[in-house]
Amino acid sequence: MRGNLPVCSQLHTPDKMVKLLVFMMMLASCCAEIKDLSGKAFVFPRETATDHVKLMTPKTSFNALTVCLRFVTDLTRNYGLFSLATPAISNDFVLFKINTNDVIRMHARDGGTDFLALSFPPNTWHTMCSTWNSDDGIAQLWVDGKPTIKRFIRSGQPISGKPSTILGQEQDSYGGGFDASQSFIGMISRLHVWDHVISSNEIQRYEADLNFTPGNVFNWRALDFEIVGNILVEDEVLIE
């Protein structure tokens, strides 16, 4: 008698299976909803070769980039903050902290340069903006509101291809190749990415969190992301 079938048997009838699949698809779409993370931070609590945040964008071509974010950590070893890879180049745009307190390595189109004499006291929130323009190959950092010198990386080669964009790890291959000894432990917040070099005034407004234009590639107030592994979304707590 159909009405007395166990629940598991009912689910295996064709109409029940179709309804279950539709429900699962709706649930997946809900989980992928773009979210406003104002006042929130991603918390990376452990050293791992798996945990990361994947960012999604429909954009596939970048003549220039500006990446701004805030972070806090107590690490003194190497760690990856931001990693954008394409199928052709794993280091298409990367921000990587070298294992001293004063060096950030920036990659663009598989080229790279080191920004020296910086200061990142541990257990303190820092803001960092990075810019690179493929027209002239010039890159620059702004750390806690202060600009570095400008350095050449690579020119004449815009970033092209579907990006795999990762927070908290550095990609040695498209979408993977993570190394636990280079994983980020700490908190990241207020990420914004633009497909052009924003002005110094706009960077200062971002630093002050006051009336700046949100990123048109990634916008912290409307972020499309996927968490892989043990990463939390919590209030952005000030650390004194």
**Secondary structure string (H, E, C) spanning 1-26:** CHHHCCHHHHHCCHHHHHHHHHHHHH
Percentage of the chain exceeding pLDDT 90: 83
Higher pLDDT, 9 or 45: 45
Mean pLDDT of 219-228: 98
pLDDT in tens, 151-171: 999 999 999 999 999 999 999
Are residues 55 and 2 part of one domain? Answer: no
Q: Which of 125, 123, 105 lies closest to 113 in space, CA to CA?
A: 105
Percentage of the chain exceeding pLDDT 70: 85
At 112 the pLDDT is 97
Please check the confidence at residue 28 and state whether its pLDDT lies above 80.
no
Are residues 112 and 11 part of one domain? Answer: no
At 240 the pLDDT is 55
In this structure, is the dihedral angle defined by the CA atoms of residues 128, 114, 173 and 74, taken in order, positive or negative? negative
Are residues 119 and 74 part of one domain? Answer: yes
At 238 the pLDDT is 76
Please check the confidence at residue 16 and state whether its pLDDT lies above 90.
no
Are residues 148 and 226 part of one domain? Answer: yes
CATH number of the domain to which 201 belongs: 2.60.120.200
Q: Residue 73 belongs to what H/E stretch?
A: none
Task: Look up the domain containing 47 and give its range.
Answer: 34-235
**Residue at 143 is within a domain:** yes
**Residue at 240 is within a domain:** no
Beta-bridge partner residues of 228: 52
Kindly report the average pLDDT of the chain as a whole number. Answer: 89
Please tell me the total count of domains within the chain.
2
Are residues 4 and 60 part of one domain? Answer: no
- For the entire predicted model, the pTM comes to 0.86
pLDDT in tens, 85-105: 999 999 999 999 998 778 999
Q: Residue 54 belongs to what H/E stretch?
A: strand 52-55
Mean pLDDT of 200-221: 96
pLDDT in tens, 189-210: 999 999 999 999 999 999 999 9
pLDDT in tens, 106-126: 999 999 999 999 999 999 999
Strand 186-194, strand 40-44: pairing: antiparallel
Mean pLDDT of 45-49: 98
Please check the confidence at residue 13 and state whether its pLDDT lies above 80.
no
Are residues 23 and 50 part of one domain? Answer: no
Are residues 19 and 111 part of one domain? Answer: no
Q: What are the b/e assignments for 173-208, b being 16+ CB within 10 Å?
A: ebeeebeeebbbbbbbbbbbbbbebbeeebbeebbe
Higher pLDDT, 187 or 21: 187
Write phi, then psi, for 208 (nearest 5 degrees): -85, -5
| Interacting residues of 226 by C-beta distance below 8 A, sequence separation 6+ | 32, 53, 54, 56
